[in-house]
Amino acid sequence: MITDYKEIQHSALELDEKQRAELAKKLIDSLDQQIDDDIEQAWIDEVKQRKAEIKSGKVAAISGQEVHKAAREFLKK
């Protein structure tokens, strides 16, 4: 079994694109195993609030394309 970081890195980089992507996903998922219940609930509450605001007409949803356009314009300034 390979235990040296450099050897693991070298071996991983020799994998084909699909295998590297799968490995990357598994590594990232392994970092996200500890879910803070308070943070998780805060996000659920935020989503519910935003959904209610959109349904009530208090705010209007805009497309991702519009957001990206506005962000690009903002960054040009």
What is the per-residue pLDDT for 33?
Answer: 75
Cα-based angle 23, 31, 38 (whole degrees, multiple of 5): 145
> What is the domain partition of the chain in residue ranges?
1-34, 37-76
pLDDT of 58 higher than 70: yes
The per-residue pLDDT for 1 is 67
CA–CA–CA angle 4, 8, 14 (5° rounding): 150
Return the SS3 of 32.
Answer: coil
d(CA 68, CA 75): 10
Contact of 13 with 5, CB cutoff 8 Å: no
CA 36 to CA 59: how far, in whole Å? 29
